[in-house]
Amino acid sequence: MTALRLTPMFAFGSRRALRMIERNLLVYKHGWLVLFSGFFEPLFYLLSIGFGLGRLVGDVTGPGGEPIPYALFVAPALLAASAMNGAITESTFNFFFKLNYDKTFASILTTPMSPADISLGELAWALIRGGLYTVGFLAVMVLFGMVRSPLILLTLPGALLIGFAFAAVGMAATSFMRTWQDFDLIQLVVLPMFLFSGTFFPLDSFPEGARIIIQLTPLYQGVDLLRTLAVGVVGPDTLVHVAYLTTMGLIGLAVVSRRLDKLLLK
């Protein structure tokens, strides 16, 4: 039983999903360097924008109202954005391709493994990978002396929660996709979210109306969650973010579990 088998409504996949992690470990045994690819993306952003641009920007207002260096402002947001990007890529494009076109996955479907087992396993693997990247990124933050509070350790589960929420919704969205063109729509949603969810500049630099819309986006929820944890200023907002992302993930899973078999077993 997986932790996700809470109620029949969320019955999705089984313990067999763990076999997908085993497969991935076998694959990465042959070329574990590939594992590091996802580590560099947020790191490069941090170096260029956090430190490079940060030099021009100076301090900005942090979650507690105190001024903090721009690099510290942007680092947790980059972590949140990379958790989102990783999850979205894995759960939409890759997921659709694997289950519809990849022969390896076709062969796995002839065993007792179900599409749900495969998706759940691949999702778990993506989260494990994301977790490794997060640890690497946090190590860099330590190296640059950006640690203000022990709460920063909680950004790891926080990033995993963001990954889970986006991956579940990504899979749900994919279950409605008809053609490859439909996937362009996802980029149309993801890119503005990446740029405007309080990632690179504070919420109060937006006009009033835009602020409300931004606060409703899931990435803002994730960014603010990790930022409050990294700076060490938590409050009721932190719990709201956690509840928001958890609900989002569970709704995503509920949708996928109802649609997956029908769509993938033709």
Partner 1 sequence: MSETNVAASGASVEPSQPRPTAEPAARRGPGADAAPLIHARKLTKRFGEFTAVDGVDFDVQPGEAFGFLGPNGAGKTSTMRMIGCTSPISDGELSVLDMNPRRDGPRIRARLGVVPQHDTLDNELTVRENLLIYGRYFGLPREECARRADELLDFVQLSDRGKDLVEPLSGGMKRRLTIARSLINEPDLMLLDEPTTGLDPQARHLLWDRLYRLKQRGVTLVLTTHYMDEAEQLCDRLVVMDKAKIVAEGSPRQLIERYSTKEVAEFRFAPGIQETLDGQFDGLAERIERLPDRVLLYADDGEDVVASARSRGLHPETVLVRRSTLEDVFLRLTGRSLIE
Contacting positions for partner 1 (CB under 8 A): 16, 19, 22-23, 26-27, 30, 103-104, 106-114, 265-266
CA distance 78 to 62: 15
CA distance 114 to 19: 12
How far is residue 116 CA from its own chain's centroid?
19
Give the burial string for 49-64 (b: 16+ CB within 10 Å, else e).
bbeeebeebeebebbe
Nearer to partner 1, 26 or 212 (CB): 26
Q: What are phi and psi of 41, to 5 degrees?
A: -55, -55
- The answer to whether the CB of 116 falls within 8 A of the CB of 261 is yes
Nearer to partner 1, 99 or 248 (CB): 99
Shortest distance, CB of residue 215 to partner 1, whole angstroms? 43
Nearer to partner 1, 212 or 266 (CB): 266
Shortest distance, CB of residue 146 to partner 1, whole angstroms? 37
Nearer to partner 1, 4 or 190 (CB): 4
Nearer to partner 1, 160 or 263 (CB): 263
- The answer to whether the CB of 225 falls within 8 A of the CB of 245 is yes
Shortest distance, CB of residue 126 to partner 1, whole angstroms? 16
Shortest distance, CB of residue 117 to partner 1, whole angstroms? 9
Q: CA 101 → CA 190, 233, 246, distances in Å?
A: 25, 46, 31
Shortest distance, CB of residue 102 to partner 1, whole angstroms? 9
